[in-house]
Amino acid sequence: MIRVCFTALASAALTGVIGYVLLPVLRALKAGQSIREIGPTWHNSKAGTPMMGGLMFILSAIICLLVSIPSMVEKTVFYVLVLGLCFGFVGFLDDFFKLKFKRNLGLTAIQKAMLQLAVSALYLYLLYLEGSLTCALYIPFTDITLTIHPMVYIFFAMFVMVGCVNAVNLTDGVDGLSSSVTVPVMLFFTATAVALKRFDLALLPAALIGGLIAYLFYNWHPAKVFMGDTGSLFLGGIVCGLAFALDMPLVLILVGIVYIAETLSVILQVGYFKLTHGKRLFKMSPIHHHFEMCGWKEEKIVIVFTAVSAIMCVVAWFAVAGYIG
């Protein structure tokens, strides 16, 4: 536990230092965010805010894990980290093309999906070879575990992972939202890994707890920097990677409730718009923009959404108590 707590504190300090150095560099490179024309009009003032700020907590997490290598006995944590880095690299490519061509859209949806599916498949196969992926699906709140054929399980898991990663990406639409919502999720995974005595695996979410809290000093409204797809896809990869590494993917329904709500709001909005030939279910989607249109300030949205995430993480803890015990 001392090592886990120290990792969180060290990551917070490193993120602060990296941010202090990185922010002027991003400004000098003119790595500014373009604002979508269909978004809230008051977001236009954010145009030009540096992106790729996710590098702050990504680099701090890498450093913390590398320093811990001599005392590690489990290498699954590095599989999860590499998974996050691969997703983050897809996000980096997306951010790079946005900056290079001065537009809000980078990679196409098909390009992103194919890269993400390939990364997910490789990660799941490695976990399966290592024995960390049992293909036994634990049902939260019960003592029931369903054994599924490996091919079916991996195929199902690939799409769950891609959906989860992009859901986290959708949540990154208000200053401080994605990072704040993800802190309690990382706290849940840290506590769960510790309870299962998988202390090495607990180091990664612990590093991100510290890193994300420190990052909020730069990303809280009004944001000085955005994490970009580099950061949000990295976080999404870590969230789903930890769930599968701990062999409890269905817990994502609980700890990821905010991500799911954001994604469902987009799906429902598009579906309702098409069915009603132009009517809207929400004032704007994802749902955080709906609340903005209702007059909520960005800070209120972040606080309420984070509170919901924290409550559901507590519920998730009790839901997996039988699995942990």
- Would you state the structure tokens that stand for residue 106, as one six-digit string? 């980078």
pLDDT value, residue 45: 64
Note down pLDDT in tens along the chain; length 325 residues. Answer: 789 999 999 999 999 999 999 999 888 876 665 555 455 665 666 777 888 899 999 999 999 999 999 888 888 999 999 999 999 999 888 878 777 766 666 677 888 889 999 999 999 988 888 887 888 888 888 888 888 988 899 898 999 999 999 999 999 989 999 999 999 999 999 999 999 999 999 999 999 999 999 999 999 988 899 998 899 999 999 999 999 999 999 999 999 999 999 999 999 999 999 999 888 999 998 999 999 999 999 999 999 999 999 999 999 999 998 778 6
Number of domain units in the chain: 1
Q: Which domain holds residue 152?
A: 2-324
Angstrom distance (rounded) from CA 203 to CA 76: 11
Q: What SS3 string covers the chain? A: CHHHHHHHHHHHHHHHHHHHHHHHHHHHCCCECCCCCCCCHHHHHHCCCECCCCHHHHHHHHHHHHHHHHHCCCCHHHHHHHHHHHHHHHHHHHHHHHHHCCCCCCCCHHHHHHHHHHHHHHHHHHHHHHCCCCCEEECCCCCCEEECCHHHHHHHHHHHHHHHHHHHHHHCCCCCHHHHHHHHHHHHHHHHHHHCCCHHHHHHHHHHHHHHHHHHHHHCCCCCCCCHHHHHHHHHHHHHHHHHHCCCHHHHHHHCHHHHHHHHHHHHHHHHHHHCCCCCCCCCCCHHHHHHHCCCCHHHHHHHHHHHHHHHHHHHHHHCHHHHC
pLDDT value, residue 209: 97
pLDDT value, residue 41: 60
Of 48, 76, 29, 62, nearest in space to 193 by CA: 76
Of 184, 194, 157, nearest in space to 259 by CA: 184
pLDDT value, residue 323: 79
pLDDT value, residue 104: 60
Contact in structure between 79 and 245 (CB atoms under 8 Å): yes
Q: Name the one residue in this structure whose structure tokens are 């293909």.
A: 135
pLDDT value, residue 49: 83
pTM over the 0.95 mark: no
